[in-house]
Amino acid sequence: MSTLVIVESPTKARTIRNFLPSTYRVEASMGHVRDLPSSAEEIPEAVKGEKWAQLGVNVEADFEPLYVIPKDKKKIVKELKDALKDATELILATDEDREGESISWHLLQILKPKVPIKRMVFHEITREAIRDALTHCRDIDNRVVQAQETRRILDRLVGYTLSPLLWKKIAWGLSAGRVQSVAVRLLVRRERERRAFRQGSYWDLKALLEKGKISFDAKLVTVGNVKVANGSDFDENTGQIIAGRRVLLLNEEQARALLSRIQNKPWTVGNIEERPVTRKPSPPFTTSTLQQEANRKLRLGARETMRIAQSLYERGFITYMRTDSVHLSEQAITAARSCVQELYGSEYLSPQPRKYTTKSKGAQEAHEAIRPAGSTFRTPQQTGLDGIDFRLYDLIWKRTVASQMADSRQTHVTVLTQVEDAGFRSSGKRIDFPGFLRAYVEGSDDPNAALEDQEVILPALKVGDKPNCKDLEAVGHETQPPARYTEASLVKMLESEGVGRPSTYASIIGTIVDRGYAKLIANALIPTFTAFAVTTLLETHFPDLVDTGFTSRMEQTLDEIATGEAKWLPYLQKFYTGETGLATQVKEQESQIDAKVARTVVLENLTAKVCIGKFGAYLESESEEGVVKASIPQDLTPADLDPEQVEFLLKQKTEGPEKLGLHPETGEPIYVLIGSYGPYVQLGEVSETNKKPKRASLPKGTDKDSVTLDMAVSLLTLPRLLGTHPETGAKVQANLGMYGPYVVHDQGKVGKDYRSIKPPDDVLTIELDRALELLSQPKAARGSSKTAKPLKELGAHPESGELINVYDGRYGPYVKHGDINASLAKDESVENFTLQKALDLLAAKEAAGGGKSSSKSKKSTKTAAAKSETAAKKTTTAKKTTAAKSETAAKKTTAAKSETAAKKTTAKKTATATTAKKTTKSS
């Protein structure tokens, strides 16, 4: 007697096998085993002649779907059928969400078992959960299956009806989607807002005051009892103060005059206000909040987050990761509270168990939030995980544990100071009790560091005090356009509008990028000109389909179908074949859509048209000599295309490229041009005898107007031959590529070995010795946890005897000793870096609480525990919780530290480049 259990993935199958008796055979379906046909070759011969076959849905026969088994799944289906022959019972154990229910139903239709069938569901893969699920099997929920099938049919109807229209009217290969098109429209609307944005500028004063040797900042807020204008007072569409606002707008001259007038006048504290604030922890993760936080903290895309979470779930580390629910089971609440009690002490435990309620109407999928699996929670260090798996589990663990911790109590302090008729405000924040912030701070990797950053301590002040003014400066500001969507903010917007399901957001964002509707640059989703054209066409001719309200109502109806409150067939008939149905609309609108107009993107203030062509976007302008066309560089976004750039691109096309000068050796002219991939320099002109003149791209971030003749000549020497490799005799070169500057060891047929060139090294000046040094370093695979080869070995630590080395990190060199990593200063040379400098740097970092614990090293654990004991003196937490706190606080990865250092470096550069001007983000 044997039982066949079918799950979706091999990993899940391997994990579950460990929890079932030997009479159970667990096999994987590898996801869906059948679906609507994805291509013409998948359509069965029997129906190929039918007009609805390409659609995959027989709209004339009650929307009957045409299901086929894809070629790559036929072998799997055969193996499952063979396995079923030896079984006396079949258990369908696919995921407990709609998708999983649908997979089980399809398996039932294909396998047609003659043995008893059970549907087993669970939201975590632990021995206890699997054994419990075996005793509580149920039947397949046909209402959930029907809702999922309706959703699949609906998506097919929208995609396969609208996409061919886009091929005809705009460009081949474009696609439309029920949720995808709404998401693209959100990106386009934000880009339009950025384009319509008009910058405003204003000035104010900033003071550095001192009382009792404690310095604090103060900002000008009033002059003569009139509020001084700030960024929130500006109209984004005009760049002017919003009509009706009674504020004083200072320009530079007025600000400096005010500064001179109050420069040496006495300051007096006029008012002090202290306001107690209580903060509650966020609820545990849902699918969308996990995607948002992983994007903010770990810089993971939605697809990557779901891939890692899926792996953690299938290996038994977390509960099911596709869920809209913030609910925690009693078992989970007990486990979380136990962690708090043991690791942080009873004072950090919330007085009563916190129970969270899901607010969204259509919440479904798994019945619990994403949390660590099991009745007791393994700390991140106890899991044996590493790399990005560790970091995502750590995020989930922290959020879950923090949800059962005490409130954070803070005091916000506002001090108003007067000097003459100018009023200044200082803001402070004191954390009276950190509560849940001790374990988890939203948007921050390290709770301890975040606590320090959150506190702004003001000196003890009282009304009438006269602080000293140490410094007073006039500061200029410029308002900023609305921020582009990141994956995190787009997911948040889609969820708040009720568009789509959170479990599908990852694939939707992936499709948007893959299909060329948006580019993901520096974590921002930037819509392309093609996205503008498609969105304009849909807004004009099919407004409902890109309306968030309409799409949200569709989601509600699909949810009602799942609960039996709505009928699926009447809904599909009305949506597709009714008088105002999609098929009718497309038939009516197709003849009215002018392809030339559809391919044209209208952007205000431009004399030329932007058109979508076979090879991308281009400019089209009428001139005396006829129509002039010029390609638009791929990195130029719709919001950034201005009249000056248009003029340059068209002038380059009509008058030829801009001549920079003559090459000092050949006498040939050198030109600066802009092509599809950005600006570049060119030696000589294109002619019959010189069809491919030598060209070189400008380094990333270099403006074409800043290129000098000397720089152009140097760029045209690329690739630079640096010499030969001493071991192979093969040439070593330096060059610029798609991903930036690099050195390459070219061994011909043997292969090429590349390494990136990072500042302070320069592709134009790097020499052979340094190139060989870079090439000698191992290539670090993304996410690899292997120890890299050091850039420089400095020597042994005088106390521990352990080696201290310098390594190359993501954001530059850093020194490492045991658990402590510390980034070298921006201007510090690796070659000249000494052991003593390293000891000083490491001591400073350790004093600041920097460190990284490792569950695999006893020495690391002892070090972390020692650090923790020092930190614990600041709190009344029990000693037994100290080591665990340290593990949580110290678990920063090198990349995260380097990222912090890089941000500081960037900020310094910005401050240097921007003389007296600072930017204020407009909300």
Structural Rg of the chain based on CA atoms? 32
CA distance 176 to 162: 6
Q: Give the contacts of 534 (CB within 8 A, at least 6 positions apart).
A: 166, 170, 174, 176, 181, 184, 517
- Reading the block at residue 109, the tokens are 């239709």
Amino acid at 877: T
How many residues can be counted in the chain? 923
| Residues acting as catalytic residues | 320
3-class secondary structure, 312: helix
Our CA angle for 722, 724, 729, nearest 5°, is 165
3-class secondary structure, 899: helix
* CA distance to 8, 10, 92, 311, per residue, from 28 (Å): 5, 5, 10, 15
* Contact yes or no for 524/486 (Cβ under 8 A): yes
CA distance 273 to 413: 6
CA distance 108 to 113: 7
What sign does the CA torsion over 833, 838, 844, 846 have? positive
CA distance 289 to 286: 5
Q: What is the number of other CB atoms lying within 10 angstroms of the CB of residue 75?
A: 10
Residue 566: name the closest of 164, 111, 146 by CA: 146
- Reading the block at residue 889, the tokens are 């606080």
* Contact yes or no for 286/323 (Cβ under 8 A): yes
* Contact yes or no for 318/371 (Cβ under 8 A): yes
E strands, 77-232, are 89-92, 117-119, 201-211, 214-223, 226-227
Amino acid at 706: S
Amino acid at 887: E
Which contacts qualify for 827-832: CB closer than 8 Å, 24 or more apart? 827/760, 829/760, 830/791, 830/792, 830/806, 831/792
Amino acid at 522: A
Q: What torsion do the CA atoms of 758, 637, 706, 904 make, to the nearest 10 degrees?
A: -40
Q: Give the contacts of 66 (CB within 8 A, at least 6 positions apart).
A: 36, 37, 43, 44, 47, 53, 56, 57, 58
CA distance 49 to 34: 21
The DSSP-derived string for 195-232 is: HH----EEEEEEEEEEETTEEEEEEEEEETTEEBP-GG
Amino acid at 639: A
Tokens 């429209």 belong to 185
CA distance 543 to 659: 48
* Contact yes or no for 437/410 (Cβ under 8 A): no
Q: What is the number of other CB atoms lying within 10 angstroms of the CB of residue 228?
A: 22
* Contact yes or no for 469/224 (Cβ under 8 A): no
3-class secondary structure, 184: helix
CA distance 687 to 520: 38
Return the H-helix or E-strand segment holding 614.
none
The DSSP-derived string for 367-403 is: SS-B-BSSSSPPPGGGS---HHHHHHHHHHHHHHHHT
* Contact yes or no for 370/395 (Cβ under 8 A): no
3-class secondary structure, 41: helix
